[in-house]
Amino acid sequence: MRKIVFILTLLLIVYSCKNENSFSGYSIESLISTAKEITNEGVNAEIKHIQLETSEKSLIADIMDLVITDDYIFILSSTPKVLQFTREGKFIKQISMLGNGPGEHLKVSSIFVNERRRSIYMSELFGRILEFDFNGTYKGMRKVGDSMSKFICDADDNLLESIQVISGNEPVKIYVTNIEGDTLARFENHVKYEFTQSSIATSYADYKSMFQLGDQIVYHQLSTDTVFTYDHRTGKLEPRYWFHNPNGPDVYDFTHFMERAKELTLIYDIAEDNNFIYATIITKGWKKNLYLIDKTNGKYYLLKLKIDDNPEKLFFPKWQQDQYLIDFVNKQDTNPELVIVKVIGVP
């Protein structure tokens, strides 16, 4: 096993040296130690609050997943229900009902849309994907192989399936299939380990492994140091940028990950727009912060953006719609309030 790890590490070093000028690298230590702290007063940003309508039919226990289209907001509640709202937060209807019949869902783990087909998809824990149009009409079902996957559609209407590493022996991290279900590409998973109760490494529910930015898809496997670009025109997954993280986990051995997690520095989540990279970093003691990297000048910022009366509630981009980043605030007597942020610049 150590010999395999050594060979893989050596190959990675060789690959990095051969491609060192083709994509950027950032030092986590430098990011954390030199970032300038900015708050609401120090950032030029559009911040929009959307209160989701509260009614007997639209009650949301907790938001597990969310998609915003040009016309609608779709919410996956922990109940589990998939609810449709207008862009202003007015409730429209529930998509599908709980059950095991045609057009009914069981345990939904994630949702995604294809705006060109005007379809919303529900990914179940039991390996099914249910398709509905935006009017709520059931259009069909397809089987997939993994029960903890996240999905996104590319510009050619092909489906990217990001496999969540749980057992440690998953051979593939991304499948690309066409609308008929034929496999077009698969990308190897290098995060391999002996499974224990301490080795849950890339299966957290509240991070996004993929998001759309323009006509490209950005991919980041949790706790690893490299962010990739999937280009639908070439069908390739290429390194986009990477983080030098000496205190990070060994990407080839997560066997005792949870026992060590609070001593590590983790690249927990990534978001991005045309101007900034947004890196959610967890440092020793499980302290979470949001860092901005300015793409134009390479400057680092620590963003502490308050989005609620509670001073402890800071903004973290849990989802994004192209240039807009999305979080939410739970309310005591009403449905959650969405917070949509577009950072324009740092004066």
Q: Is 7 within the bounds of a domain? A: no
- For residue 167, what pLDDT is reported? 83
Answer yes or no: is pLDDT of 156 > 90: yes
Q: Is 9 within the bounds of a domain? A: no
Q: Is 5 within the bounds of a domain? A: no
Average pLDDT over residues 140-152: 79
pTM of the model: 0.89
- For residue 179, what pLDDT is reported? 82
pLDDT > 90: percent of the chain: 65
Residue-by-residue DSSP string for 204-235:
-TTS-SEEEETTEEEEE-TT-SEEEEEETTTT
What value does the mean pLDDT of the chain take? 88
Domain membership of residue 296 as a residue range: 25-345
- For residue 206, what pLDDT is reported? 61
Q: Is 19 within the bounds of a domain? A: no
Give the model confidence (pLDDT) of 53-99 as tens digits.
999 999 998 999 999 999 999 999 988 899 999 999 999 999 988 77
Q: Give the span between the Cα atoms of 112 and 64, in whole angstroms.
A: 12
Answer yes or no: is pLDDT of 11 > 80: no
Answer yes or no: is pLDDT of 271 > 80: yes
Give the model confidence (pLDDT) of 212-263 as tens digits.
999 999 999 988 899 999 999 999 999 999 999 999 987 556 788 878 888 9
Q: Are strands 236-244 and 266-272 parallel, antiparallel or unpaired?
A: unpaired
Burial of 164 (0-12, 13-18, 19+ CB in 10 A): buried
- For residue 5, what pLDDT is reported? 37
Q: Is 153 within the bounds of a domain? A: yes
Q: How many CA atoms lie within 13 A of 8 on its CB side?
A: 14
Q: Is 301 within the bounds of a domain? A: yes
Q: Is 17 within the bounds of a domain? A: no
Q: Which two tokens stand for residue 33?
A: 């130690």
Answer yes or no: is pLDDT of 138 > 70: yes
Q: Is 15 within the bounds of a domain? A: no
pLDDT > 70: percent of the chain: 89
Q: Which residue would you say has higher pLDDT here, 256 or 159?
A: 159
Q: Which two tokens stand for residue 84?
A: 């449709």
- For residue 250, what pLDDT is reported? 78
On whether the CB atoms of residues 101 and 65 are closer than 8 A, the answer is no
Measured in degrees and rounded to the nearest 5, phi and psi for residue 96 equal 70, 170
Average pLDDT over residues 184-201: 84
Which of 6-20, 118-132, 315-329 comes out lowest in average pLDDT? 6-20
CATH number at residue 151: 2.120.10.30
Average pLDDT over residues 12-38: 74
Number of domains present in the structure of the chain: 1
The terminus-to-terminus CA distance of the chain in angstroms comes to 51
Q: Give the span between the Cα atoms of 204 and 207, in whole angstroms.
A: 6
Measured in degrees and rounded to the nearest 5, phi and psi for residue 237 equal -110, 110
Nearest CA-CA partner of 11 in 252, 254, 266, 257: 252
- For residue 202, what pLDDT is reported? 53
Nearest CA-CA partner of 285 in 261, 316, 267: 261
Q: Which residue would you say has higher pLDDT here, 126 or 51?
A: 51
- For residue 300, what pLDDT is reported? 98
Answer yes or no: is pLDDT of 203 > 80: no
Q: Which two tokens stand for residue 273?
A: 């727009």
